[in-house]
Structure 1
């Protein structure tokens, strides 16, 4: 028998502080789905044990709103169960459940079989709401949508984004637009071309010259939208069948060594207490190899015994496998140093922008300045820089993987502690095969 369990998502809405109610629908032990309800509740009004809204006895507007909220949750639960009750288990999937939730809130799209050009933007937003599961990722897709809207205005002459009429040539022209958009502005950030575009679709940051890898990421997200639209029956047109994504190029991964990490940890930042805090956070991230997006979501509950445990957002919809990383003494020292019962987050995080700036500053001040060779993302030419100039929070993940791989050459073992799926091709971007490792291998010929 199908059952639904309810819980609050960890993330709070920035404006209201509410948290989304998540549904865990179980058909059997093998068929379990976690879906968003698109219904939000404040944590203080949620009874986690009873899995329902807490209704205060005092009459008033708040009580009425909470009663309505609980009624809506009950109706959505009934709606989900009623629609899947008579379906074979193999026909129930996440997309069907998300569609039921969407129809419950917004009604059936009467024009679904007769898609009109003006529906493209709305459909893209619907795709984001039902398919994109993490906050950083939904912002990235919204950014792609704004690029497409600017591209539509750039084409001019009545050109409209159309789900059914988009061709591979349109996709190529969009790629070309991404390459040249930065030329619409001068060095001072003043718009010198197509000003009408940015009046209608403003940009928060002036577009910079984009590298091939960045364009690859944008086009890949655009392709994901079309794959979803075809799979869910919104269209039979897929312009990406004839389009080839630009190939990504990655240089040799660079990272700080264990010795450099220890030197950084022991460096005296007493004249800059805030930098000392961020130094500890960077060292801790280097000790567990977690992605920054997942790192910032860690709470004290993620400390299980002598390990950090979490589910990586990137693979949440594929494996939902729990990642467990044992804590080394250095990491335990940092946790103890910032133990605070009044703080929900694991550590005193700041914005990722300021975190990255702090990383570069701390490495420079600690004298970690050896030269590394990188690939310029725009020109694709090799360049040499002090490591502190090109460091970021992303490097903390490489610090973990690179240093471990030098000692334990087992990608599967390390990958299970970094959230990589089995046989991940992306894993190769994090570990380097250096001269010492080659010498060890060659010794087998002696």
Structure 2
């Protein structure tokens, strides 16, 4: 009996992007000749038929990846040799190869095997752990991305049975998943049939390194939770370096820019723009997160103040945030006093972000600000209206208050930050005016 690994695809000499699936073939006396595909793949120009693995000295492939690939080929070959017996067929070979990557996937049985899927465990984590709604939504977003990635592997990469499982996921799996996350914005045009029923907002934007780090931090949380429960001893994050988040200095509207937007005549635009302007201005005046803004009702209006418990941090503490309303904020609420229970009209966050950009551009808020390119992480200058979002409102509230009172504890009591929050430190950028005040103390 002889076991060999082979590929069925070739590529142009300089092509280093195409991938070919690795197949295993078993031949034995009596006419036995069965084949089955594995989840392993390699660029055809890197494949050595003689070695049944990578050619030596492939410059574009790390030693770690090359060695892991060759080791997998050898281990699958050994497994087939060990388990082979007369009378087996192609289905047996396919199941055995799948078992190598996902132990017991075919023998656990329906519901039991599902337990080991990462998406299943993320949902269990959501169901069994007290989480703020924002955190729940982020974890649900991970389920959506991982599920789409797995379906992509099945339908586009032809990796039958591929799943990310808590007991078998590897650092190499994490690297492959990160690459897919970075490149998915290109796939809508490349694979239109696959994406025809998926809303473009889920895949068409370039994902920043900070966003991807956030996805992976949540995956790591769930993986550690599975280890703690005794479901697995596997934790690939012990051997995977997460990229640390990077942030540019916070940018926000000055009080003059804010008032320019507040007082702007938007009658030439669709009436909805004036409504979104009011929502944006109200958020600038109370500094809450957009997730909290969307939940505010008339019950949150108490003695001329807005009172609420921030959803993001209620799992850490449930302190009530109380923000007095100034005349501008009260004037906005007066326009919507006829609403039954809501303080402000309901809104879609995606549309809200788009409207903020359009309104600021129309009003002429085009001051250049420093931002990080989401792909290169290099600093670039862009007009404020291009990069403004709902969070710009929160930064406008915090940044301008800090310039006036410079008391982080007082401001944090109105912004809903946890005491000692690392995120809050980013709002405390020392600007030139503050530096001049300090220098003047030496006169």
SS of 1:124 mapped into structure 2: helix
Structure-2 separation of matches of 1:293 and 1:260 = 24
Structure-2 separation of matches of 1:210 and 1:164 = 28
What is the aligned-residue RMSD (CA, Å)? 2.6
Which whole-Å deviations, capped at 9, do the CAs of 1:2-29 have from their partners, x for residues lacking one? xxxxxxxxxxxxxxxxxxxxxxxxxxxx
Structure-2 separation of matches of 1:208 and 1:425 = 27
Deviation, 1:329, is: 1.6
Which whole-Å deviations, capped at 9, do the CAs of 1:145-189 have from their partners, x for residues lacking one? 23223444537265432212223333233223322333434xxx3
**Deviating runs (4+, > 6 A) in structure 1?**
none
Match of 1:364 among 356, 361, 365: 361
Structure 1 contact 375–381 (Cα < 8 Å) conserved = yes
Structure 2 contact 114–120 (Cα < 8 Å) conserved = no
Q: Say which is worse superposed, 134-143 or 378-387, in terms of deviation.
A: 134-143
Please report the TM-score for the alignment, with normalisation by the length of structure 1. 0.67
Please report the TM-score for the alignment, with normalisation by the length of structure 2. 0.67
Give the match for residue 175 of structure 1.
178
Structure 1: which 5+ runs fail to align?
A: 1-110
SS of 2:414 mapped into structure 1: coil
Give the match for residue 191 of structure 1.
191
Deviation, 1:407, is: 1.3
Match of 1:246 among 238, 243, 246: 243
Structure-2 separation of matches of 1:359 and 1:209 = 20
Query: 1:47-446, aligned counterparts within 5 Å?
Result: 116=113, 119-120=116-117, 121-131=119-129, 133-153=131-151, 154=153, 156=159, 158-185=161-188, 189-191=189-191, 205-272=202-269, 273-340=271-338, 342-446=339-443
Between Structure 1 and Structure 2, whose CA radius of gyration is higher? Answer: 2
Which whole-Å deviations, capped at 9, do the CAs of 1:244-276 have from their partners, x for residues lacking one? 211211111111111221222122223443222
Structure 2 contact 132–315 (Cα < 8 Å) conserved = no
Structure-1 separation of matches of 2:309 and 2:298 = 15
Which whole-Å deviations, capped at 9, do the CAs of 1:169-220 have from their partners, x for residues lacking one? 33233223322333434xxx3417xx76x68x95654443322111111111
Structure-1 separation of matches of 2:199 and 2:328 = 42
Structure 2: which 5+ runs fail to align?
A: 1-107
Which whole-Å deviations, capped at 9, do the CAs of 1:78-136 have from their partners, x for residues lacking one? xxxxxxxxxxxxxxxxxxxxxxxxxxxxxxxxx9xx96366413332222233364555
Aligned residues: 326
Structure-1 separation of matches of 2:205 and 2:280 = 28
Q: Say which is worse superposed, 395-404 or 352-361, in terms of deviation.
A: 352-361
Deviation, 1:404, is: 0.7
